[in-house]
Amino acid sequence: MAGADPAKNGSSPLLAAAGRSNLVLRIVSSAVLAPLAIAAAYFGGVTFLAFWFAASLIVLWEWDTLVCAHDKNPVLIIGAVALVGSALLLAFDRAGTALTLIALSVFGIATLASRIRRIWCALGIVYAGALLLAPVLLRNDAAWGFAAIMFLFVVVWATDIGAYFTGGAIGGPKLMPLVSPGKTWSGAFGGTAAGVIGGVLVAQYAGATNLAVIGLLALILAIVSQIGDLFESWIKRRYNAKDSGTLLPGHGGLMDRLDGFLTAVIVAALIGLVRGGFDAPARGLMVW
């Protein structure tokens, strides 16, 4: 979480203890989830598709539970069917058709949901569908897919970790106190710097050559990941929720853990598709 200030120094022994306990839970959850994500990325193919399909279903459930109230069940059914169909299409390299199916499901959900929740419920399948489509599109690039996913992982994770510890150590002015009171400008800058450094190191190890452009790309993705974090915080505040769920101790729901990655991978996939097309989006992202 970008710029999180886990416990104000000296404010309260109870708050400090709670902050330490939460940090331990975050570390344990990350120690389980991160290796699974890396292993899925390494094996690619059906394994990677299944990992992100499961993640997208969970995120859809969390979003609809948070946002859709009594409209949840019909909206969730339409969204889940769309995700299942999209995953099957991706398995047969029909990414364009999968994207079309997600787009059509938006209209189906908008029709079923009540007027007051129509836009927000429809955004759930966009959110979950992007989480399925964008990583799989990048990873399917045989030459650069694994490198692109690891580049994204490191940029987002380093940004998150750097922001957490920099914000906690330095403190200072709040980034957006009405949206996420714990995040600070010092954490945002520290996290961005960590994301850029981590991304450049991974890209260099993977064989990328134009490190100046890679550094600029990592900078953009680090900023975008923090915007995604703030967006999800705003959604939770709008619906009076502390977390999106309870799946991950110390993090809340899976949506809480993937908020920054989701926005970063969408931007990365769009850049890759513009430069490399559906055949080589990861090359489009990593080779300049």
Could you tell me if residue 21 is inside a domain?
Answer: no
**Separation in Å, CA 52 to CA 123, 131, 159, 180, 254:** 18, 7, 21, 27, 12
Among the candidates 123, 140, 157, a domain finishes at 140
Q: What is the pTM of this model?
A: 0.88
Q: How does pLDDT run across 249-270, given as a tens digit for each residue?
A: 556 788 988 999 999 999 999 9
Q: How does pLDDT run across 152-194, given as a tens digit for each residue?
A: 999 999 999 999 999 999 999 999 998 988 899 999 999 999 9
> Which residue is associated with the tokens 């909206």?
75
Among the candidates 140, 161, 177, a domain finishes at 140
Q: How does pLDDT run across 60-98, given as a tens digit for each residue?
A: 999 999 999 888 999 999 999 999 999 999 999 999 999
167 and 272 fall within a common domain: yes
pLDDT at residue 12 is higher than 80 = no
Task: Tally Cβ neighbours within 10 Å of residue 208.
Answer: 22
Where are the strands (E) in the chain, listed by range? 174-176, 180-184
When the pLDDT of each residue in the chain is averaged and rounded to a whole number, the result is: 89
> What is the pLDDT at residue 244?
78
CA–CA–CA angle 46, 52, 56 (5° rounding) = 140
147 and 287 fall within a common domain: yes
- 249 Rama sector, left if φ>0, alpha if ψ -120 to 50, beta otherwise: beta
Tokens representing residue 284 in the block: 């489009």
- 151 Rama sector, left if φ>0, alpha if ψ -120 to 50, beta otherwise: alpha
Could you tell me if residue 33 is inside a domain?
Answer: no
259 and 150 fall within a common domain: yes
How far apart are the C-alpha atoms of 162 and 109, rounded to whole Å?
38
Tokens representing residue 169 in the block: 């150590």
